[in-house]
Amino acid sequence: MEKPFYITTAIDYTNAPPHIGHAYEKILGDVMARDRRARGREVVYLIGVDQHGQKVQQSAARAGVRPEVFAQDVTAKFLDLWKRLDIAYDRWAETTAPQHTECVRAILNQLHQKGKIYKARHGGYYSVRQEQFLTEKDRGADGSFSPDWGEVVFLEEENYYFRLTEFKDWLVGFLEAHRESVLPAFRWTELRNAVERLTGDLCISRPKSRLAWGIELPFDPEFVTYVWFDALINYISFAGYTSHPVDFERLWPADYQVIGKDILAPAHGIYWLIMLRALDFPDERMPRLLVHGYINLRGDKISKSAGNTVDPAELVGKYGAEALRYYLMREAVTGQDMEFSEDRLVARHNSDLANGLGNLLNRTLGMAKRYRQGVLKKPADSPLAAPAAEAVSRHRAAFDRCEPHAALEAAAAFVAHCNGFIEESAPWKLAKDPAQAERLDAVSMAWPNRSASSPRSMRPRSHRLRSRSVSN
C-alpha cells in the first residue's frame, strides 16, 4: 500500500504574532496537501508552533508574564489565523505537549548513551538573537559582528555538545548521492557549500541559570535543551516516533518538509539530517526539504524583529481568505523571494478570479438556467475536452514540481480559453435557432466535468475588490 503523503512546515516561534511570511508557508504546504488529497492520496499535513527558547522567554519577560502563558497566548493567535486562512492541517505540533517533550527526552537519552553527546567548557561570543555562539568566521571585515546577529555578549560556560562533525563525511556523501533531497536545485548547492564549512559540534544545552524555558535534559537537571534540537524533533514526535511506532513506520520519511531559506543551513540541512542519521535512520529514510524564499516589503524581509509585518488576519478581513491565498500562490515562484503588494493582490483577484473564473461560472450557470432550465445533457464530444485534459495534466505536472504558481497559470489559461470559446460560439445567437439545439447543448456545457476543476480554495467572490491601504 502506498505510504501516506506526509508534509510538514517549519513550526513558528511563539515570540510574536504571525505575519504574512508564516501565512505564505502554511498556504504553500496546504495547497500541496490539497493537491495530493484531490488525487486520492492519503495525506498527513503537520504544522505547529515552536514554544520554547530564549526568544519566547525574552518576549514574555518584556510583557511581564510567564513564558508558558505568553506562548499559549501567541499559539492561540496562530491557531486563529490558520482557521481564517482555511489551512486544512491534519496534525498540530506544540513543543510543550507531553507527546513531544517525552520524545525529545528519549532521543537525548539515546544519543547520550551512544556517546553522541558529551559535556565541555566553552568561552566565546554569543548572539542572543540567534541563540548561538559565534566564531571568528562570523566577524565582518572590520572585525565586528554584523548587526544581523543582534546583541552579542561574551560567555563562558559548560554545556552539552552533539557530535555533528562525526557525521560530516556521511552528510557530504548523502547529499552527493541524493540531489533531489533539497529543492529547488540551487538550494542544494547552497547547502552543499555550507556543509563544507562545518567545523564544530553543536551545543545542545543551555544552563537553566541563563535560560529556564525549555525541555530539561534527562541526564542533567541543571540544563534545558537548545531550542533547535527540541524543535526539529517535532517532525517525528508528532508522527509517533516514540508514542505510536506503527503509525510512524507508515508515515516517515516526510515527502516534503517546507521551510524558509533562512533555516535550511545549518538547521534543517545539517543539524536535522545528522540528528536523524545519529538515530540510525538509513539514507532512504531521509526527508526531502522544499525551500521557499521570503515575502519582502519594499525589498526587506518581513519579520517580527524588523517590525515591518503585514498582518494576514487583517488582509483576510478585507479581502477574504481565497483572494489572499490565490495571490500568494499565483505570484510566488517556489524558492524565489516575492515582493508583497496589496495592489497586486487586488489586481490578481479582479482579473483572474472575478473577471476570469467568476465570469465564466456566472455565464455558464446563467446559460444553463436560461436555455436549458438548469438541466444539461452531456455532449458526446465537447470541443473543450482536449484543452481541459491538457490543463489538468499541466496542473499536475506543476504540482509534481512543487510549483503551484505554474499549476494556477494552467488553470487560468484554461478559464481564459473557455471564456473565449463562449465569445466565439455566441450561445445567445444559437438559442434563437432551433436547428442549433445540439450545438447549444455543447456550448452550455462550457464548464466541463470535474476533472478540470481548479483547487478547492478558488471559490470566486461575486464582487470586485477595491484596494484600501493596509497599515504595516
Residues that bind ligand ME8 (CB under 6 A): 10-13, 21-22, 24-25, 50, 231-232, 234, 259-260, 262-263, 294-295, 301-303
Closest contact distance (angstroms) between CB of 198 and ligand ME8 is: 19
C-beta atoms surrounding 424 within 10 Å? 9
With CB atoms as reference, the residue minimizing the distance to ligand ME8 is 260
Phi, psi of 52 (to 5 degrees): -90, -175
- Minimum distance from CB of 187 to ligand ME8 (Å)? 12
Which residues fall within 8 angstroms of residue 168, CB to CB, at 6 or more apart? 195, 198
**Angle separating helix axes 321-331 and 404-425, nearest 10 degrees:** 110
CA atoms within 13 A on the CB side of 107: 30
State the nearest-atom distance from the C-beta of 112 to ligand ME8, in Å. Answer: 21
CA atoms of 247 and 241, how far apart (whole Å): 8
DSSP assigned state of 204: -
**Cβ 385 to ligand ME8 shortest distance, Å:** 39
Nearer to ligand ME8, 12 or 201 (CB): 12
Q: Are 174 and 191 in contact (CB under 8 A)?
A: no
Task: Compare residues 13 and 371 and give the one whose CB is closer to ligand ME8.
Answer: 13
Nearer to ligand ME8, 260 or 379 (CB): 260
3-state secondary structure of 422: helix
Looking only at the bridges linking them, the beta strands covering 43-50 and 91-94 are parallel
CB of 364 to ligand ME8, least distance (A): 37
Q: Shortest distance, CB of residue 446 to ligand ME8, whole angstroms?
A: 38
The pair phi, psi for residue 195, each rounded to 5°, is -65, -35
Q: Select 231 or 443, whichever has its Cβ closest to ligand ME8.
A: 231
DSSP 359-428: HHHHHHHHHHHHHHTT--PPPSS-TTHHHHHHHHHHHHHHHHTT-HHHHHHHHHHHHHHHHHHHHHH-HH
Separation between Cα atoms, residue 22 and residue 29, nearest integer Å: 11
Considering the complex, what minimum distance in angstroms separates the CB of residue 215 from ligand ME8? Answer: 14
Query: Is-contact 30 45, C-beta < 8 A?
Result: yes
- Contacts for 231 with CB less than 8 Å, ≥ 6 apart: 11, 50, 52, 53, 95
Residue closer to ligand ME8 (CB basis): 10 or 360: 10
Distance between CA atoms of 128 and 125, rounded to whole angstroms? Answer: 10
Of the pair 47, 415, the CB lying nearest ligand ME8 is at 47
Closest distance to ligand ME8 from the beta carbon of 259 (Å):
5
> Under the phi-then-psi rule, with left for phi > 0, alpha for psi from -120 to 50, and beta for the rest, what region is 444?
alpha
Question: Peptide bond preceding 4: is omega within 30 degrees of 0, i.e. cis?
Answer: no
- Kindly tell me which of 326 and 447 has the beta carbon lying closer to ligand ME8: 326
Q: How far apart are CA 74 and CA 19, in angstroms?
A: 12
Q: d(Cα 392, Cα 135) in Å, to the nearest integer?
A: 51
Integer CA distances (angstroms), 15 to 75, 359, 467, in order: 9, 43, 31
Indicate the residue among 271 and 447 with the shorter CB distance to ligand ME8.
Answer: 271
Between 50 and 322, CB nearer to ligand ME8: 50
E-state strands within 35-151: 43-50, 91-94, 117-127, 132-133
C-beta of 303 vs 436, nearer to ligand ME8: 303
How far is the C-alpha of 269 from the C-alpha of 182, rounded, in Å? 8
For ligand ME8, the closer CB: 253 or 460: 253
Minimum distance between the CB of residue 373 and ligand ME8, rounded to whole angstroms? 50
Supply the DSSP symbol for 455.
P
Shortest distance, CB of residue 379 to ligand ME8, whole angstroms? 46
**What is the closest distance, in whole angstroms, from the C-beta atom of residue 172 to ligand ME8 in the complex?**
23
- Whichever of 266 and 460 has its CB closer to ligand ME8, that residue is 266
Closest approach of ligand ME8 to the CB of residue 28, in Å: 9
- 99 and 243 in contact (C-beta within 8 Å)? yes
